A and B are shown apart, each in its own frame.
Chain A
Amino acid sequence: MSQIEAKQGPSATSIIGMIVFGAILMVAGFWAYTNGSFKAVEGPLADQGIPLAFGKTIASFGVLLILFKVLHIFFFAPLDEAITNRTKELEHTFGEAESLRSEMTQLKSDYEKRLTETEANAREQIQAQIKEAQDLKKELMADAQRKAEEYKQQAIAEIESEKRKALTDLRVHVTNLSLQATEKLLTENVDNDRNRRIIDDFLATVEVKN
């Protein structure tokens, strides 16, 4: 039997040898067919309903040998090469895309990590700020309350002292008025101090009654 393909690069001799061999087989098949060389075998087979002519088989064998060889050189080798090249290129592209994608994933994860870090930081800071503000607020409020209390106390004390002063003034004034009145009434120089004490006492009793 003969082979169809040469694996690594069909050499010219093998191609020509194959074609010559196929042509010889073709001629031999024609010769056998026309001369009926296989009649002894074909007759009984034909009686069995098997239409076999070995001459045709041999000729077809030769034709197919040539056909397959030429087809391989003419079409399948280029097709195979093209598809292999394309597959390689595709694999290359896919590999590149894969590496790019992994890089991108890396970057994305980095970015996300940083983002979460920043977020946590910011939240912490905000919390701290809020706490500080709350403390400040509490302090301020306490301060304000204290001050208000102070002012209130002060005001009360002032009011009290003013009241007392006014009362004292009033009392002095009343005393003076009474003394003047009494002076005018009595037209008599009385010891002012003693009289004043008497009137004071009197007024004190009046005050108590009031």
Chain B
Amino acid sequence: MLEQAPLALGLAAFGCAIGLGLIGFGAMNGMARQPEAISKLQIAMLIALAFVELVFLLTVFIGVPGLR
């Protein structure tokens, strides 16, 4: 358990990074296509980012005790 916990955290970060990247990718595409909708897209993007980040934070809070 102790040895695997950092690796698990790394995996969680990996997935979170992919998710954030996908959101950023989609938002950028949308912004490039419709520059007039940037404000709406940004808000939606931030909400999505927050949710993806939350998953990682939950993982950390569940996983960190394993590090100790």
Contact = CB atoms under 8 A, between A and B. Distances in A.
* Chain A interface main SS type: loop
Nearest to A47: B65
Interface residues of B, number: 5
Contacts, number: 9
Contacts of A11: none
Contacts of A49: 61, 64-65, 68
Interface string A31-58: 0000000000000000111100000000
Nearest to A45: B61
A98 to B, nearest CB: 24
Interface in A165-205: none
Contacts of B2: none
B49 to A, nearest CB: 23
B62 interface: yes
Greatest chain B CB density within 10 A among A47, A48, A49, A50 is at A49
A50 B62 CA distance: 9
Contacts of A48: 61-62, 65
Contacts of B64: 49
Contacts of A50: 61
A53 B12 CA distance: 28
A48 B62 CA distance: 7
B59 to A, nearest CB: 12
Contacts of A47: 65
A47 to B, nearest CB: 7
A49 B68 CA distance: 10
Interface of B: 61-62, 64-65, 68
Query: Lowest 6 A-B CB distances belong to which pairs?
Result: A49-B65, A49-B64, A48-B65, A49-B61, A50-B61, A47-B65
Interface of A: 47-50
9 contacts: A47-B65, A48-B61, A48-B62, A48-B65, A49-B61, A49-B64, A49-B65, A49-B68, A50-B61
Given A47-B65, A49-B61, 7 more contacts: A48-B61, A48-B62, A48-B65, A49-B64, A49-B65, A49-B68, A50-B61
